[in-house]
Amino acid sequence: MRLQDKVALITGASSGIGRETALLFAAEGASIVVVDVNDAAGKETVEMIKAQGGKAVYAHADVSKAADCENMVNVAEKEFGKLNVMFNNAGIMHGDDDNAMTTEESVWDLTMAINLKGVFLGCKYGIPALQRAGGGSIINTASFVAVMGAATPQIAYTASKGGVLAMTRELAIIHARQNIRVNAICPGPLRTELLMKFLNTEAKKQRRMVHIPVGRFGEAKEIAYAALYLASDESSFVTGTDFMVDGGISAAYVTPE
């Protein structure tokens, strides 16, 4: 198994990418700390893992709060003795996120607090635990829109994910000699509840779909497999990357030099 004897903490693990990754990591031998603000759904993920013979524990955390992030890492070390993989995946896509003129300051602040500050706080408390474990892997969920911009305006989300990419690169450089790898996954449009709620009309869905060369939305499990590679020792020479898992969007629209 590709994650045998490893301990992985996954935020936003009650649904979507987080849940699929938690189930996959557990199936590959990892013990999982399932983290979310949705306690009922988060505990459901734990039960799903246990039902397939895996090990998991739930920790409630609002990733925009330092005390919660400190606690979730403490839970990992207390329950499983160490932390090897930190997947900062929790994020929001606010329905009122639009262009710079119409997006309210409150929507901007909330998006930044969860999507960007949440990754910072995960790393702030997760990195010392990885150091104590002798190294490990940090995976941050960014987005293809951080590289390209979005066809449907979502200024706060796009900016927050751009910040995740920049932070990922810097952390990768700072901790490269400590056996800590830091990478960002940039998913393309996925058939998840998060995006489908945002693309709430058929016209919005088609506007996004037309840009995807493979002709369909991605599935959360396809991102989970990318995360599995970055979490495993197979990616031991991979750090500081923007791992595009986008159905070919960036290849189709990046201007050649």
What is the set of active-site residues?
157
The Cα 232–Cα 241 span in angstroms is 15
Number of residues in the chain:
257
Residue 250 CA to chain centroid, in angstroms?
19
The alpha-helical segments, DSSP class H, found in the chain are 16-27, 39-51, 66-80, 105-112, 118-132, 145-148, 155-174, 193-198, 202-209, 220-231, 249-253
Distances, alpha carbon 101 to alpha carbons 94, 105, 178, in Å: 16, 10, 44
Count Cα atoms within 13 angstroms, Cβ side, for 63. 33
Cβ count within 10 A of residue 71:
17
Residue keyed to tokens 């919005």: 204
Query: Are 8 and 33 spatial neighbours (Cβ–Cβ below 8 Å)?
Result: yes
**Identity at 252, one-letter amino acid code:** A
